[in-house]
Amino acid sequence: MDNVLETKGMFPVFRRSGSETRTTHYCAGCGHGIVHKLLSEAYTELGLQDRTVIVNPIGCAVFGYYYWDVGGVSAGHGQAPSMATAISRLRDKAIVISYQGDGDLAAIGLGHTLQAAARGEHMAVFFVNNSIYGMTGGQMAPTTLIGQKTTTSPLGRNPATDGMPLHLCELVNSLRLPVYVERVSVADTARIMQARKAIRHALEIQRDRKGYTFVEILSPCPTSVGLKPLDAAKFVIEQMEKEYPLGCLRDRSAEAPARPEPKPWVRLADFFGDDGREAPRHEAAEVKERHFKFTGFGGQGILSLGLVVADAARALGLETTWLPSYGPEQRGGDAQCTVVTSTHLIGAPAVEHPELLVVMNQAACGKHLHTVRPGGLALVDATVRVDPAEIPEGVRVVQIPAIDIAAAAGVPKAANVAMLGGLIALEALGIPQHALVEALERSFAKKPALIPLNKQVLQAAIDHCRHHGLAGELP
Amino acid sequence: MTKFVKGNEAVVIGALYAGAEGYFGYPITPASEVAHKAAEYFPATGRVFVQGESEDAVAYMLYGAAAAGCRALTATSGPGFSLMQEAISYMSATDIPTVIVDVMRAGPGLGNVYPEQADYGQVVHGGGHGSYRCIVLAPGSVQEMCDLTMLAFEKAFEYRTPAIVLADGQLGQMMEPLRLPKEEAKPVDTAAWATQGTQETRRNLLTSIYLDAPAQEAMNLHLQEKYRKMDRAFQRAELYRCDDAEAVLLAFGSSARTARSAVDALRAQGVKAGLFRPITLSPFPIDALLPLAGKKLWTVEMSAGQFRDDATLHLAKAGKLAEIGLINRMGGMLIAVTDIVRTVKEAL
Ligand code: SF4
């Protein structure tokens, strides 16, 4: 084996910076040169050269693009499968190759390797396994053999402290979507012939749009393994092949379905139903900003109540913000949201001192009642005990049995809608009833069957307020 | 047409209108709705959606997408952004355009999911290895979540560099009316540099390794020249009631919304207050800030003062030593308008 390449599909002069030579940067006896040659022969003979993009790894093959006359991209360490994923998804006519060594693919990149294989990405992975980190100076790799000496296992790999070798073909073969998995070797001529077939077959599968292929190539690394070239090849045959038996683990290329052609793009205006018309804008000379806060616990429909109010306001052309509590308390704890409406651009969407507070449980009352601004209104469910001493100066508290009204109508989940009825009766929002009812209907766009029942609850709450003389505008 | 949407959804709409072909996502609160909406809208309109296995994988998917000459994006929050830094450094060094949206949450560490602005340092100063920085845009409304995502794509591809939209949990989670963009961006021709898997692009190579020190230095000088060009041509800021102002609040993102309310409240109480809101955090809009240097200045921010320190430094580099006060909260606590008003009034 020498380190001079003469092959179709490669650059006539290697694109090595400042060098006019056809000598590779690989050590004498290195397997990479052979694999490079087999790969470039394969994509050229299959007529795929123009369509091929090779993602170059970190490791000794980092400079693969010196030689391969195809599209070249450099990956971050272990990330070639991630990059190849995106290229192949977005350029479905490209033949995408991830060429990686064992440190890159099996150590730092193992997760990405398996995830891309599990997703069945359309890419050909060529995994050059030489049992050691080459470029960084002969350190132990996940594929280092038991007892093998490296610069980070000077006494030999000890399973007790260094674990056992990883078998990549077998790992990939445990997944469902890979189409073709084979382990070959380039340690002698007969083996190279088999490797040539495997590499070619992997590219045929890419050409035929069949899916993910994984070819592991056992390869000599005389420099880092610390052997003369011929002995390094012997090491592959006599030791590595014992741990990593050669052979085809899977070939489903005949039965695998071809990747479908991508769907055409949909015009966005059509998708969003944009008719080009602008919503009416609410014109007013004087700035009038209103601050509402809705509180209770998760599951009471607090956020949706605020959303109906916000949606009604914005449909009138008002500037509107809706800010929910989000995160863990959404799941069962306190829930609250704030709504600000204005005739002019709104500053903070968070509300410190609301002019209207809606309270649907006891905890929210204790937490929020004191924040209502003087002259404001708190609409509180009747199940909540309001301590008169806690009502701030100048704040009106109105209690209605929203939870009971909804339960009586057979829709306990609609207590928030009953609260909305209360707000309508009290004219507390400065938003006309029809706008609120329309927003309520829009909120049930996906479950229109529920609209009549909810409107019944809404009316029951309005009637309750009128019956009890609870009406009139916000002070 | 107007839609009433969360800031997180507005990002997806902006990306679609900007011609994004792919979304590569990984869930994290409070940015997850971006991925949810992308998972709905991208495939339904013939585009690509992929959920990656981690934020670092997703960032390299963006690198792969842009290497293929395609517009793609992701959205994340602080911890995820930290994981993306390596890929962002690679992309910067390779002249690769991409768009990442950071919907900031409180940190450091796992922190919580409430809004903070303490990713400022790691986002604005290029938090990965090497001398690079990104375009950083700071939206202040749901509309800008859409519009600045579009602008981020435009500028990323113009300068061939990563562009970050720096938002926060409040902007991501709040809903406001969004006017849909009028038209879809025209596709950009990337054949000159991208590896598209075509004959025309076969000789294109995207790499960031320069073994020789002089070549590596030349590459660094090329980046710095690009950033200088950006600094000259692409600074944006909004000034609100600054003309006659004696006290000026400096704030970006959702803090600028709070500060705007504070300015109105101060004006109502007879204090001549104004707001300086950077829209580009990188390039820093120093040209617009410089004339305000003689006024009383405060930053209003949800961090320990990262933005304040940066503004001070930018002014100092431009020859103005200014003392900038700090009105801040951390940990997901929102800044109260009343606190800003009190601080400013006490100082005047
Ligand atoms: S160190 Fe090993 S793998 Fe690297 S070039 Fe030399 S022989 Fe090849």
CATH number where A70 lies: 3.40.50.970
Question: In the structure encoding, which two tokens stand for residue A84, read together?
Answer: 């190849």
Of A17, A91, A269, the CB nearest to B197: A91
Give the pLDDT score at B289.
Answer: 98
Beta carbons within 10 angstroms of residue A231's beta carbon: 15
Print the domain residue range for A343: 289-467
Distance CA(A20)–CA(A302), nearest Å, equals 72
pLDDT at position B287 is 98
Q: Are residues B59 and B86 in the same domain?
A: yes
pLDDT recorded at residue B219? 97
Residue-averaged pLDDT of chain A = 93
Residue B154 has pLDDT above 80, yes or no: yes
Q: What is the DSSP letter of A64?
A: G
Atom of ligand 1 nearest to the CA of A134: 1
Q: Is residue A269 part of a domain?
A: no
Q: Is the pLDDT of residue A284 over 80?
A: no
A280 assigned to some structural domain = no
Which pLDDT value is given to residue B194?
98
Between A4 and B307, residue with greater pLDDT: B307
* Angstrom distance (rounded) from CA B93 to CA A257: 39
Could you tell me if B123 and B228 lie in one domain?
Answer: yes
Is there a single domain that holds both residue B187 and residue B258? Answer: no
CATH number of domain containing B279: 3.40.50.920
Amino acid (1-letter code) at residue A88: S
Distances (CA, A) of B250 to B110, B235, B273: 28, 15, 11
> Span B116-138, mean pLDDT?
97
Least Cα distance to A132 among A101, A162, A87 occurs for: A101
Find, among A80, A230, A413, the residue nearest to B63 by Cα. A80
A221, A235, A240: which to mutate for ligand 1, most atoms within 8 A of CB? A221
Same domain, B244 and B223: no
Q: Does residue B216 belong to the interface with chain A, where contact is any CB pair within 8 Å?
A: no
- CATH code of the domain containing A362: 3.40.920.10
Q: Are residues B183 and B326 located together in one domain of the fold?
A: no
Give the pTM.
0.96
pLDDT band at A51 (very low <50, low <70, confident <90, very high): very high
In a shared domain, residues B122 and B247: no
If asked whether residues B222 and B262 sit together in one domain, one would say: no
**Mutation to probe ligand 1, out of A130, A151, A217 (largest number of atoms < 8 A from CB):** A130
Total domains in the fold of chain B: 2
CA of A141 to the centre of ligand 1 (A): 14
The residue type found at A470 is L
Distance, CA of A24 to CA of A40 (rounded, Å): 15
Query: Average pLDDT for residues A169-181, to the nearest whole number?
Result: 98
Question: Are both A241 and A326 inside the same structural domain?
Answer: no
**Distance (Å, rounded) from C-alpha B76 to C-alpha B168?**
10
B342 contacts chain A (CB < 8 A): no
Predicted pLDDT at A14: 84
The answer to whether B88 touches B156, Cβ cutoff 8 Å, is no
Residues of A in contact with B13 (CB under 8 A): 272
Q: How far apart are CA A79 and CA A61, in angstroms?
A: 14
Say yes or no: B224 contacts chain A, CB-CB below 8 A.
no
Tell me if A60 CB under 6 Å of ligand 1. Answer: yes
Do both A303 and A431 map to the same domain?
A: yes
Atom of ligand 1 nearest to the CA of A138: 1
What does pLDDT average to over chain B? 97
Q: Above pLDDT 90, what percent of chain A?
A: 87
Domain that holds residue B92: 2-233
- Distance of alpha carbon A340 from alpha carbon A314, whole angstroms: 10
Picking from B172, B206, B233, the residue at the C-terminal end of a domain is B233
Question: pLDDT value at position A474?
Answer: 44
CB of B38 within 8 Å of any CB in chain A? no
Asked whether the predicted pLDDT for residue A17 surpasses 80, the reply is no
Q: Is the CB of A141 under 6 A from ligand 1?
A: no
Beta carbons of B57 and A274 less than 8 Å apart: no
b/e map A345-377, b = 16+ CB within 10 Å: ebbbbbbbbbbbbbbbbbebbeebbebbbeebb
Same domain, B276 and B315: yes
**A50 — contact with chain B (CB < 8 Å)?**
yes
Question: In this structure, are A296 and A173 located in the same domain?
Answer: no
Place of tokens 């052609």: A261
| Domain termination site, one of A251, A281, A300 | A251
In this predicted structure, the answer to whether residue A39 has a pLDDT above a threshold of 50 is yes
**For position A125, what pLDDT does the model report?**
98
Do B87 and B203 share a domain, yes or no? yes
Predicted local distance difference test score (pLDDT) of residue A18 = 56
Domain closes at, from B215, B233, B251: B233
Q: Distance between CA atoms of A252 and B331, rounded to whole angstroms?
A: 54
A277 has pLDDT over 90: no
Q: Which residue of A has its CA nearest to B53?
A: A115
Cβ distance B205 to A65 under 8 Å? yes
Return all residues near A242 (Cβ < 8 A) that are at least 6 apart: none
CB–CB of B196/B68 below 8 Å? yes
Question: Is the per-residue pLDDT at A16 higher than 80?
Answer: no
- Tokens found for residue B274: 């104004």
Say whether pLDDT at A327 is over 80: no
Which residues are registered as beta bridge partners of B181? none
Q: What is the pLDDT of residue A1?
A: 41
Residues of A in contact with B211 (CB under 8 A): 17
For residues A103 and A213, membership in a common domain is answered with: yes
The CATH number linked to B191 is: 3.40.50.970
Contact at CB, B44 and A271, closer than 8 angstroms:
yes
Q: Which pLDDT tens digit goes with each residue over A351-382?
A: 999 999 999 999 999 999 999 999 999 999 99
Indicate whether B87 and B214 sit together in one domain: yes
Using only the alpha carbons of chain A, give its radius of gyration: 35
Q: Mind listing the pLDDT tens digit for each residue in B162-175? A: 999 999 999 999 99
- A/B interface, count of CB pairs below 8 Å: 232
- Asked whether the bond before B30 is cis by omega within 30 degrees of 0, the reply is yes
**A95 and A193 fall within a common domain:** yes
Predicted pLDDT at A475: 39
Domain endpoint, select from B175, B198, B233: B233
Q: Is residue A22 part of a domain?
A: no
Is B243 in the same domain as B204? no
Mark whether B215 and B302 lie in a shared domain: no
pLDDT in tens, A125-136: 999 999 999 999
Binary contact (A111, B53; C-beta < 8 A):
yes
Query: With a 6 A CB cut-off, is A33 part of the ligand 1 pocket?
Result: no
In a domain, residue A271? The reply is: no
Domain boundary among A198, A231, A251: A251
Q: Which of A62, A82, A209 to mutate to test the interface with B (most CBs of B within 10 A)?
A: A82
Q: Above 80 in pLDDT, residue B72?
A: yes
**pLDDT above 60 for A24:** yes
Q: Does the structure's ipTM exceed the value 0.90?
A: yes
What average pLDDT score do residues A407-411 get?
95
Under a CB-based contact definition with an 8 Å cutoff, are residues B185 and B154 in contact?
yes
- Mean pLDDT (whole number) for A3-25: 73
The answer, yes or no, to whether residue B35 has pLDDT greater than 80, is yes
> Token pair for residue B295?
């006024």
Tens-place pLDDT, residues B40-51: 999 999 999 999
Percentage with pLDDT > 90 across chain B? 99
Q: Quick one: A90 and A239 in the same domain?
A: yes
